[in-house]
Amino acid sequence: MLKNRVAITGMGIISSIGTTVEANLHALLNSKKGIAPIVNIDTRHKNKIKVGEVLQTNAELAKSLHLNENHNYSRTALLGCIAAQQAVKHAKIDTIDAFRTGLISATSVGGMDLTEKHFQNYNAETRTLINSHHAVDSTEKIAALLGITDFTSTISTACSSAANAIMLGARLIKSGQLDRVIVGGTDGLAKFTINGFKTLMILSDTDCTPFDANRKGLNLGEAAAYLVLESDAVVKQDNKTVLGYLAGYGNANDAFHQTASSENGEGAFLAMSKALKIAEINPEDINYINAHGTATPNNDLSEGKAIKRIYGDSVPDFSSTKAFTGHTLAAAGAIEAVYSILALQNNVMFPNLNFKTVIPELQMVPITEVTKKTINYVLSNSFGFGGNCSTLIFSKN
């Protein structure tokens, strides 16, 4: 039972570089970034930082979902519903309850964009009922849209959230508890997020530069992405087209600091090592690493050291795609899972935009242009606050 493979049969995505999988691929192949000044949020930081923003307004997103004007969908929920609906359609699922089906959705922002509208007027005398704030709200709305009732769960482990959602979905399939699971994550931009990261002093006022010696910090982003995971039995019974497989996964928590990664990348090293062990492959079998690569001084050095602990001086081709989309927080692991599958399908590696200068301590040079190459295995990293480190390995077969 535990040897059952986990197939990926559908994908959906909406990000700052495109509202579909095809649009995202086109942007990646043509180096069209989504980083720009803030448009949809009225904040004092509007002209001081850059973000990866989905340019549609909430009203436009709601209209595409055919919601009435009195809906209580947060931006996080709107983005999540659109991407999850795409994934199910892509997997050609007509009857959601034909098999035991679950939904595992990740978020960190939740409904904060709606909650913060009431912040100034919220006091002991005036209370506004806010029922879309909690993280589970977006999951419930996605499940209702898709008609999923067998199993739902919400994961919030900071920026590794969606990777952990994918991991849990795979384990539920391998253990025989579910036949298919829609997995991924969603996060909309909000003042809360912008102000929080501004306080941490890790936002860049320019386009971010992952793995560059002169990196200044990250660009926040918003996005949603979901994958459809299905068992071998479902794939065979329905004669499904398989986009790729989730071959390995691992997570670890080094509990080094509330926000910073450990100096030697302990958690990242352990997560990658576990993923390679579960995939039953050697480190040199990895053809491409989609790195977490946030462009913060701490993350890139820590992740780089962890990679070098595994590979020494023989590091595989790698790049971070966050210079395209910004750091999409809880959605990041799912966004980059979609990009990893696209890399496998198209035998292509995506560029690490804006790179110029090697980090002296690492001497690691990322891929800086679209590069064609036979790819059988992709390793994708997602690391979050509190030392939450997760690694996924995707394969063609």
Residues designated as active site: 159, 292, 327
- Three-point CA angle 161, 290, 171, nearest 5°: 45
Q: Which residues of 112-139 are buried (b: 16+ CB within 10 A; e: fewer)?
A: bbbbbeeeeeeeeeeeeebebeebbbbb
Query: CB neighbours of 33 closer than 8 A, spacing ≥ 6?
Result: 17, 27, 52, 207, 323, 324, 353
- Neighbouring residues of 234: CB distance < 8 A, sequence distance ≥ 6: 99, 179, 180, 240
| CA 81 – CA 92 distance, rounded (Å) | 17
Residue 342 vs residues 77, 213, 316, 339: alpha-carbon distances, Å: 25, 29, 18, 5
Q: Which has the closest alpha carbon to 381: 302, 313, 280, 281?
A: 302
CB atoms within 10 A of CB 201: 8
Please list the residues that pair with 228 across neighbouring strands.
10, 182
> Distance of alpha carbon 209 from its chain centroid, rounded?
19
Give the side-chain half-sphere CA count within 13 A for 263: 1
Within 229-366, where are the H helices? 232-238, 266-279, 297-311, 322-325, 332-346
Question: CB under 8 Å to 312, separation ≥6 — which residues?
Answer: none
Q: How far apart are CA 237 and CA 22, in angstroms?
A: 28
Q: CA-to-CA distance for 65 and 42, rounded, in angstroms? A: 25
b/e code 299-333 from CB counts within 10 Å (16+ = b)? bbbbbbbbbbebbeeebbebbbbbbbbbbbbbbbb
Q: Take residue 98 and report the two structure tokens written for it.
A: 């034909």
